[in-house]
Structure 1
Amino acid sequence: MVDAAAEPRLTGSVPLYKNVEPLNRQKHKNYGVKTVSNPFAFLKEWHFVPAISPEFAFACGSYPIVFLGDKKMPVLVMGLRAGTNLFVDANGQFDNEHYIPAYVRRYPFVSASAQNDQPSTVCVDLAAEFVVSENAERPFFDENGEPTEYTKQAVDFVSAFENDARITEAFVERLVALDLLEKKDIKVSNPQDPENPVTVAEYWGVSNEKFTALPADKLKELHDSGDLVAITAHLISLQRWDRILRRTSLNAAAEGQAQA
Structure 2
Amino acid sequence: MSDLPLFYSSVVPLDSQAHRAHGVSTAADRFGFAARAHIIPAVAEEFAAAAREIPIVFAPAGTGHSAVFLCGLKAQSNLFISEGRWNGGYLPAYLRRFPFILGERPAGDPLICVDTGHAGFGVGEGVERLFDDEGKATPALNATVKLVTEYAGAAKRTEQLCAKLGEFDLLRSVTLDVKTPEGASASVHGLFIVDEAKFAAISEAALLELRRLNFLGAIYAHLFSLGATQSLAARMKDGAVKTAA
Flag whether TM exceeds 0.5 (same fold). yes
TM-score range relative to shorter protein: 0.7 to 0.9
Structure 1 residues 170, 11: CA separation in 2 closer, same or farther (over 3 Å shift)? same
Does residue 149 of the first structure (1) align with residue 142 of the second (2)?
no
Contact 1:31 1:136 in 2 (8 A): no
Does the 8 Å contact 1:181/1:205 carry over to 2? yes
Give 1 or 2: higher helix fraction.
1
Deviations 1:91-142 (A, max 9, x none): x22114x21111111112111222x243222111223333223456522212
TM-superposed deviation, 1:187: 3.1
For residue 58 of structure 1, give the secondary structure of its aligned residue in structure 2.
helix
* Residues 237-260 of structure 1, C-alpha deviations (whole Å, 9 max, x = no match): 112222223323469xxxxxxxxx
Structure 2, unpaired ranges of 5+:
240-245
The answer as to 2:78 corresponding to 1:88 is: no
Higher strand share: 2
% identical aligned pairs? 31
Question: Looking at CA atoms only, which structure, 1 or 2, has the larger radius of gyration?
Answer: 1
Give 2:95's match in structure 1, choosing from 98, 104, 114.
Answer: 104
Q: Distance in 2 between matches of 1:103 and 1:190?
A: 30
C-alpha distance in 1 between matches for 2:195 and 2:107: 37
2:172 equivalent in structure 1: 182
In structure 1, the partner of 2:190 is 202
Which of 26, 47, 66 is matched with 2:57 structurally? 66
Could you tell me which amino acid in structure 1 is paired with residue 52 of structure 2?
G
- Determine which of 26, 31, 37 is the counterpart of 1:40: 31
Aligned residues: 235
Shift of 1:173: 1.3
Q: Which residue of 1 aligns with 2:112?
A: 122
Q: 1:188 to 1:157 in 2, by over 3 A?
A: closer
Match of 1:246 among 227, 234, 241: 234
Give the CA RMSD over aligned residues. Answer: 2.5
CA distance in structure 2 between the partners assigned to 1:36 and 1:227 by the alignment: 36
